[in-house]
Amino acid sequence: MPELDNPDTAAASSATATASALPDSGWRGSAELWLQAAYDSLIEAGIDAVRIMPLAKKLNLSRTSFYWFFKDRDALLTGLLAQWRQRNTDNLIGQTQAYAESVAEAVLNVFDCWLDPQLFDAQFEFAVRSWALQSPEVAAQVAAADEARLAALRQMFERFGMDALAADVRARTVYLTQIGYISMKTSEALAIRMQRIADYVQIFTGSHAEARELQRFYARHGFQPAAEAGQGV
């Protein structure tokens, strides 16, 4: 698991004992609040910024409040990684299993992840991958997530009749392209990225998306192609 923050760990037992002995003196926040503060600090400044005292100051809470919800910093980091897996891995796998009329639409379902941060948080992904460079334990979790995501993508392609090798190559092409986007912090206007979607689908699947499939995809993301923007006005 993630490495412990020794100063925080050393204080944990005494702080927990003190908190247990004292009467309730006010609001201590919640586990969700501490995790949100940890997430914000991870995104803003990296894993070294995720420490109990700075988080307590950010939340305007006492340091001892933390220990009502987490045993130590390591427990907080474990919770943070669990959120990352749920947000990014579980949602991506779910999108590979969503109903689709064709392999093109199946890939469009996966593309929803790249455009909706509620389905796949690119900033969280970048921060965890950066953290993994400092922690072999986190690196192992990232590797496991990569394999689970790739397996789901392979199964998606196989579901539409591709053999194992072709499914593996296409899964890697889809996934590694997006991880490259994230690692390079590529930023594109929505209109520009949407203009490329149909060609991405053709390259990744070897087939063209139907107009109705693209229209459903565009509608999910509030995008109206320029050619249609003036119609009906």
Summarised one tens digit per residue, pLDDT across range 127-180 is: 999 999 999 999 999 999 999 999 999 999 999 999 999 999 999 999 999 999
Q: What's the first-to-final CA gap in the chain, in angstroms?
A: 57
CB atoms within 10 A of CB 46: 13
CA-CA distances (angstroms) from residue 111 to 20, 87, 107, 148? 48, 15, 6, 17
Summarised one tens digit per residue, pLDDT across range 124-135 is: 999 999 999 999
Three-state DSSP class for 23? coil
- Quote the mean pLDDT of the chain: 89
- CA dist 72 and 184 (Å) reads 33
The whole-model pTM stands at: 0.85
Helix (H) or strand (E) holding 36: helix 31-45
CA-CA distances (angstroms) from residue 122 to 38, 57, 87, 92, 127? 16, 27, 10, 12, 9
- CA dist 192 and 170 (Å) reads 23
- In this prediction, residue 26 has a pLDDT band, given cuts at 50, 70 and 90, of low
Contact 217, 108 (CB under 8 A): yes
